[in-house]
């Protein structure tokens, strides 16, 4: 059983990568080392085996093994939410039960995808999972799996155990509407890295993101500056974040790019699984140099990974 409640799951939360070796095998020792790396930044929680964690490229047994390994390192330090989403309800419930047994604070899931499921089917998917496991559930509104309407989110919030939403849609104007239409205890998490500062301004309980693996200290600074009313400083940092994110995303291999930059900075983040295309050798160095150049252009300082890369490739 988790020592944390879902109310503790707030602040800056990386959607953690999964660490695979060069042969695409799950590396649990490196996983623990990477989680220690993230914890060194005083992050506020972890979100496991989601899209960034390449959860859909993993066997169920691998997802369970990763969660258990992470809980050994982080379970008593920060709340951990496990993404258990799968295309089938039965398999999702199996993963949800394993997450609970491992001591997760809560579970999360994208809506069922691929077959353009209708609203009733999506509602039943979440209802079945929430009723099968007595652990808080965070639903997930994300373009990759299909966005749900604000009305659907409100209806789902009425189900016992559904206690939050990870909101990765860019239509963030809906967040205050959701807050007004749902009980104030319902947790809302901003999921678009490019809108981190805006999400915090709108009053989300936490921000969960992919690039928090690479630049956790940058997003911690953004979060703190918004909370402290230093909006101009937060905007400057957010602008830098958007430029860096956009450059890496435009490579067409976001997850592989994050891992390549971490490796170049001396952090064992492993490699992405196919069909993602990894960066090797000179291509990895070129990407690192480009990131340093952009960081210099936008006067981005005191970001650990960038500072390491700047010593290697800066002028």
What letters, b where the CB count within 10 A reaches 16 and e where it falls short, cover 276-310? bebbeeeebbebbebbbebbeebebeebbbbbbbb
11: β partners = 206
Looking up residue 39, the CATH number of its domain turns out to be 3.20.20.70
Token pair belonging to 171: 């239509």
Catalytic residue status for 271? no
CA pseudo-torsion sign 213, 217, 221, 224:
positive
Q: Which pLDDT value is given to residue 143? A: 60
- Considering only CA atoms, which of 210, 167, 209 is closest in space to residue 186? 167
Residue in 140, 167, 189, 271 annotated catalytic: 140
Strand, helix or coil at 261?
helix
Query: What's the alpha-carbon Rg for the chain, to the nearest Å?
Result: 19
253 vs 158: CA distance, rounded Å: 38
DSSP 208-229: EESTTTT-HHHHHHHHHHHHTT
Q: Which two tokens stand for residue 20?
A: 């695979």
Give the bridge partners for 207, in sequence order.
12, 190
For tokens 């300082």, the residue is 301
Catalytic residue among 100, 127, 166, 259: 166
**In a domain? residue 260:** no
Task: Give the contacts of 277 (CB within 8 A, at least 6 positions apart).
Answer: 252, 253, 256
Pairing of strands 187-190, 162-167: parallel
Written as six digits, the tokens of 143 are 């373009």
pLDDT score for 2 = 86
Residues 269/262, Cβ–Cβ less than 8 Å: yes
The Cα–Cα gap between 99 and 44 comes to 19
Strands (E), 172-298: 187-190, 206-209
- Parts of the chain with a pLDDT under 50: none
Total Cβ atoms within 10 A of residue 87: 15
Residue 253: inside a domain: no
Q: Is 148 within the bounds of a domain?
A: yes
* 123, part of any domain: yes
Q: Which residue is associated with the tokens 């958007």?
A: 242
Could you list the residue range(s) of the whole structural domain that residue 190 is in?
A: 6-228
Q: What is the pTM of this model?
A: 0.96
Q: How many domains does the chain have?
A: 1
State yes or no: is 259 an active-site residue: no
In a domain, 112, yes or no: yes
**What was the pLDDT predicted at 147?**
66
pLDDT in tens, 148-157: 788 999 999 9
* Residue among 80, 40, 51 at smallest CA distance from 191: 51
Q: Is residue 14 part of a domain?
A: yes
User: CA dist 39 to 20, 101, 191, 211, 220, Å?
Assistant: 20, 23, 20, 15, 12
């Amino acid at each position: 059983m988790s020592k944390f409640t879902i109310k503790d799951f707030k602040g800056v939360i990386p959607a953690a990568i999964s660490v695979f070796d060069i042969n695409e095998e799950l590396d649990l020792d490196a996983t623990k080392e990477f989680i220690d790396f993230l914890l060194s930044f005083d992050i506020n929680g972890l979100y496991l085996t989601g899209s960034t964690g390449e959860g859909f490229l993993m066997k169920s047994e691998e997802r369970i093994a990763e969660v258990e390994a992470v809980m050994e390192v982080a379970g008593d330090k920060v709340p951990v939410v496990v993404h258990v989403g799968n295309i089938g309800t039965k398999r999702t419930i199996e993963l949800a039960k394993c997450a609970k047994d491992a001591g997760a604070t809560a579970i999360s899931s994208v809506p069922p995808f691929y077959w353009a499921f209708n609203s009733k089917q999506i509602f039943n998917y979440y209802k079945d999972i929430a009723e099968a496991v007595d652990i808080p559930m965070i639903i997930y509104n994300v373009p990759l799996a299909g966005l749900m309407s604000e009305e659907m989110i409100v209806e789902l919030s009425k189900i016992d155990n559904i206690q939050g939403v990870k909101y990765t849609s860019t239509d963030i104007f809906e967040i205050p509407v959701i807050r007004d239409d749902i009980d104030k205890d319902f947790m809302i998490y901003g999921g678009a890295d490019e809108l981190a500062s805006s999400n915090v301004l709108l009053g989300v309980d936490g921000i969960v993101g992919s690039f928090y693996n690479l630049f956790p200290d940058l997003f911690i600074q953004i979060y703190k500056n918004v909370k402290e009313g230093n909006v101009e400083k937060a905007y400057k940092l957010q602008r830098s974040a958007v430029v860096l994110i956009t450059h890496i995303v435009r490579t067409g291999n976001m997850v592989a790019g994050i891992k390549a930059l971490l490796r170049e900075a001396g952090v064992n983040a492993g490699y992405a699984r196919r069909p993602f295309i990894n960066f090797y050798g000179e291509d990895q160095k070129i990407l690192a140099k480009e990131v340093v150049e952009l960081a210099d252009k936008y006067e981005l300082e005191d970001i650990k990974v960038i500072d390491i890369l700047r010593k290697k490739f800066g002028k």
